[in-house]
Amino acid sequence: MSDQELLRALPGFENKYFDVNGTTLHIVEGGSGYPLLLLPGWPQTWWAYSKVMSILAKYFQVIAVDVRGMGSSSKPETGYDKKNMALDIYELVQQYEFEKVYIAGHDISTTIVHSFSSQFPGITAKAIFLDTIPIDENIHRVPMLAPAGYPAGAVYPWWLAFNQVQGLPEKLLENRSRILLDYMFDILSFDKSTITEYDRLVYAASYNQNSNIRAANGWYQAFAQDAIDSKSYQKLSMPVLGIAGEGNNMLETGLQIIAGHYQWHTIPETGHFLMEERPREVAELMIRFLNE
């Protein structure tokens, strides 16, 4: 499915491409007002925000970004440390000639938001973190398997290790990524039906490709450098919002460390993929925070 086909569901939005920091980023833009950048996570693309973009576009100039290695953006061999990916976003902002922006990230992109906001506080008006703690040295302490005594079916993020294996995942998943994608969407959603068959086909069309799998794994293979870089980031001084699904307290713990002051909301009966499960609630929380 092409991005142009997807835009039929989003009147008023358009595709654009920008050459930044030695790569090319694809963005989907619509609306008017203060600029709001939306960065998706794994295993998704800009389409992750499709259910909230039209709501947000009533208040903001919405710019959904396929980050480096994602969707229709370029798939370079290197540059997937989040400090460098934040520089991609900085150069995008410079090309738009925005004085300041709002920025939001989900999943792996919360680390890009953290790096961007810390490196460029002068142009970051407000920052939003969606259901994932930014990467720091504690990433090395996250258990990949459930310890003895934990209930059967407990979810532990084994994929954090799997995606760091070089060369193997793309061989296993090329043209059959749907198996892994369905697993991830089902196990991390409170209501798995909210990520529709159409949505799953959109993501599979992207992550079936060898180069896309390899590039996405680059985000994970840069974790060691991300952890090192996180030690140099200053505490965020701008207003920060965290939104998490039910039972996810890790993000608030992280925000206590990285943000001088923050707001925090948990959405009941909601899993990791907030924007699909509760688009109206997520959009309203974002609008309220950004318009304060």
In sequence order, what DSSP letters do the residues of 122-137 get, joined into one string?
Answer: TTEEEEEEES-PPP-G
Alpha carbons 47 and 273: distance in angstroms, whole number:
12
In the chain, helix, strand, coil percent, each to 5?
A: 45, 20, 35
Instruction: Quote the radius of gyration of the chain (alpha carbons, Å).
Output: 18
In a domain, 187, yes or no: no
In a domain, 94, yes or no: yes
In a domain, 197, yes or no: no
The domain spanning residue 80 has which CATH number? Answer: 3.40.50.1820
Q: pLDDT band at residue 152, thresholds of 50, 70 and 90?
A: low
In a domain, 55, yes or no: yes
- Longest Cα–Cα distance in the chain: 55
Query: 58-98: per-residue pLDDT in tens?
Result: 999 999 999 999 999 999 999 999 999 999 999 999 999 99
Query: What domain range is 43 assigned to?
Result: 3-141+225-291
In a domain, 169, yes or no: no
In a domain, 186, yes or no: no
- Could you tell me the sign of the dihedral formed by the alpha carbons of 274, 65, 235, 220, in that order? positive
Q: pLDDT band at residue 261, thresholds of 50, 70 and 90?
A: very high
Supply the pTM of this predicted model.
0.96
In a domain, 159, yes or no: no
In a domain, 75, yes or no: yes
Query: 199-224: per-residue pLDDT in tens?
Result: 999 999 999 999 999 999 999 999 99
Domain count, the chain: 1
